[in-house]
Amino acid sequence: MFSWYYISGILILTGINLLTVLGLSLLTGFTGLFSFGHAGFMAIGAYTAATMTMQFHMPLLLALLLGGVVSMLVSLIIGRLTLNLKGDYFCIATLGFGEATRLILDNVQYFGGSRGLPGIPTYENNEYLAIVVFINVLAIVAMVFLIRSRHGRNMVAIREEELASQAIGINVFRYKITSLAISALYAGVAGGLMAHYLGYIQPIMFQLIKSTELTIIVIFGGLGSITGSVIGAIVLTFLPEVLRTFFQWRLVVYGAAVILIMITRPQGLMGGKELNLKAIWRWVKRRRGGAENDSSAIS
């Protein structure tokens, strides 16, 4: 039942989800903007990359990059228009953008309309997994560097207190649009990866529910934590696949779980903390140090 072919397939899907979630984590977890339209950016990347390899016989990596860039350009336009909206309204606008993108693709005959685009070149699983892992490692490293830089700290400042960060001279709008653009780039590349793994794409794959699922993974992992996003993406991609036999009840449990997380542990699995060697070492040290303190208190 669990052949390598099956497992590697899930790993590829995990990698694709993870890539989008990483970008979304920057936007939602570190900059504090919620999006219900990232499936739209994935769709743009997927259709662009697929067209590039099918019509223009471009090499895969170049096509993926181009898909990401086109999606990023679209995000710049969308961001320009909507990032000044307050509170809920930005997230409603992204919802509108995601659904509008899907509905436009539904009607463009060049892309096959609602029937979708079949016959996208696919690759052998192991080879493709290597590509996915490579891109993800690159994406994670880049993200860690970004978040630890001055720019990353500015984004966190905006998340924590928008007005105050504006007051100390952070260009709030510029950082918000940068964050959105990078997340759209990640989503676009992930969309391209998805197209070349499945071999066909349909607008229905990029519905509102897909965007919601991505945001839920970020929240499940914990806002403001990259390791949280990684763990979240792995758990929430594997779990539904393993539970496929309960297909119909799977999403019921999923929905209930989301409510449960929100009402019990809204900070998510990691809750803004990172899991790395340093953190583990500090944790061990604190346990030992705590024990010593206790004994000294007794004597």
Partner 1 sequence: MSSFLQQVINGLSIGSVYALMAVGYSLVYSIMNFSNFAHGGVIMLGAYIGLYALSLLSLPFVAALVVAAFGAGLIAVVLEKIAYSPLRRRNAPGLYFIISAMGASIFLENFVVATIGPTFRTYPQIFDSKPFMIGDIALGRIDVLMFVISAISLGILMFIIEKTKVGLAIRATSYSAKGSAFMGVNVDWIIFVIFILGGMLAGVAGMLFGMRYTVYPQIGIITNKSFIAAVFGGLGSLPGAVVGSILLGLIETFASVAGYSTYRDLIAFALLILILVVRPTGLMGKATEDKA
Contact residues for partner 1, defined by CB under 8 A = 34, 36, 81-82, 85-89, 91-93, 96-97, 99-100, 103-104, 106-107, 161-164, 208-209, 212, 215-216, 219, 248-252, 254-259, 262-263, 266
User: Which CB atom, from 15 or from 112, has the smaller least distance to partner 1?
Assistant: 112
In the complex, the smallest distance separating the C-beta of residue 176 from partner 1, rounded to whole angstroms, is 14
Q: How far is the CB of 217 from partner 1 (least distance, A)?
A: 12
Q: How far is the CB of 86 from partner 1 (least distance, A)?
A: 6
Nearer to partner 1, 136 or 229 (CB): 229
How is residue 246 annotated by DSSP? G
User: Hey, what amino acid is at 285?
Assistant: K
Rounded (10°) angle between helices 4-24 and 172-198: 160
Count CA atoms closer than 13 A to 99's CA, side-chain side: 10
Beta-carbon count within 10 A of 134 CB: 12
Structure tokens, 86: 């307050």
Which residue pairs from 130-136 have beta carbons closer than 8 angstroms and sit at least 24 positions apart in sequence?
131/60, 131/61, 131/193, 132/11, 132/12, 132/15, 132/16, 132/19, 132/193, 133/15, 135/15, 135/19, 135/64, 135/189, 135/193, 136/15, 136/18, 136/19, 136/22
Least distance (Å) from partner 1 to the CB of residue 257? 7
Using the minimum distance from each CB to partner 1, give the nearer residue, 102 or 196: 102
Query: 35 and 27 in contact (C-beta within 8 Å)?
Result: yes
**Least distance CB 140 / partner 1 (angstroms):** 25
Q: To the nearest whole angstrom, how small is the minimum distance from the Cβ of residue 54 to partner 1?
A: 25
* Cβ pair 40, 102 in contact under 8 A: yes
Nearer to partner 1 among residue 88 and residue 294 (C-beta): 88
Which structure tokens are listed for 78?
């969308």
* Closer residue to partner 1, CB minimum distance, 33 or 52: 33
Q: Taking CA 208 as the corner, what is the angle to CA 70 and CA 213, rounded to the nearest 5 degrees?
A: 95
CB of 184 to partner 1, least distance (A): 16
Environment class of residue 30 by beta-carbon count within 10 Å: exposed (0-12), middle (13-18) or buried (19+)?
buried
Extract the tokens encoding 143: 């993200």
What is the token pair recorded at 1? 């039942």
Question: Which one, 91 or 135, has the nearer CB to partner 1?
Answer: 91
Smallest separation (angstroms) from partner 1 to the CB of 135:
28
Residue nearer to partner 1 on the CB measure, 91 or 195: 91
Q: Which is nearer to partner 1, 88 or 124 (CB)?
A: 88
